[in-house]
A and B are shown apart, each in its own frame.
Chain A
Amino acid sequence: EVQLVESGGGLVKPGGSLRLSCAASGFTFSSYSMNWVRQAPGKGLEWVSSISSSSSYIYYADSVKGRFTISRDNAKNSLYLQMNSLRAEDTAVYYCAREGGLFRPYYFDYWGQGTLVTVSS
């Protein structure tokens, strides 16, 4: 059974940093591209970042470019999101999601339960 479990969320002050983790199991993690998608309270879904299976290709939404860094450790079956210079508008539930499909736009076939990041003074 595919499982994605996020952790690392919490309350952080504006300008602060946080590192999210996503532990994957039930599939060959090193064969799949992975993504972070967020959802602000009461709002819709927003794609944040993606990373290819070997970390060769990395993409970011304009809203986080230069502040967030996605990475992965295939030996540990883990995905990460380093978030720096956090702003109030980064407050959201952050989901990690496995990417499926053969060509763009890829779909997200499995999602974690999400971890809440709150940026507030």
Chain B
Amino acid sequence: QSVLTQPPSVSGAPGQRVTISCTGSSSNIGAGYDVHWYQQLPGTAPKLLIYGNSNRPSGVPDRFSGSKSGTSASLAITGLQAEDEADYYCQSYDSSLSGSDVFGTGTKVTVL
């Protein structure tokens, strides 16, 4: 069980905007730790999508954006496209766990 909670699934029609939440607590996101986001297409390795809450690596379309507030973070996809159908994971650090980077529970995005 992860300390970062995401909705199991979200869906939208092509062209629509969808958002994915990542809810944490005072020992992770609420403590000020950054949040990163990954996209995992079916059968492939995860790919870094957003780092440092809102920064896009080179090559990531600006349809993807991230934000953070309080104990939560969000990933937004605007102008949803068929190729965005994938699993999305948030990642942060939790000071109550030894070690420890933590991933969110993951969200499946379905393009209707």
- Across chains A and B, the number of contacting residue pairs, with CB separation under 8 Å, is 77
Q: Please pick, from B44, B89, B92, the residue contacting A45 in the complex, using a CB distance under 8 A.
A: B89
Do the beta carbons of A101 and B103 come within 8 Å of each other?
A: no
Do the beta carbons of B99 and A101 come within 8 Å of each other?
A: no
Q: A105-B34, A105-B91 are in contact. Are A45 and B103 (CB under 8 A)?
A: yes
Interface string of B89-112 (1 = CB under 8 A from A): 101110001111111111000000
Do the beta carbons of B45 and A111 come within 8 Å of each other?
A: yes
Q: Is A107 an interface residue (CB 8 A)?
A: yes
B interface residues, tally (CB under 8 Å): 29
Interface-located stretch among A13-21, A58-66, A81-89: A58-66
Do the beta carbons of A107 and B103 come within 8 Å of each other?
A: no
Do the beta carbons of A111 and B52 come within 8 Å of each other?
A: no
Residue from B40, B48, B89, B98 whose CB has the most chain A CB atoms within 10 Å? B48
Q: Is A50 an interface residue (CB 8 A)?
A: yes
**Closest A residue to B45 using CB positions:** A111
Chain B residues at the A interface, C-beta cutoff of 8 Å: 2, 33-36, 38, 40, 44-48, 51-52, 57, 89, 91-93, 97-106
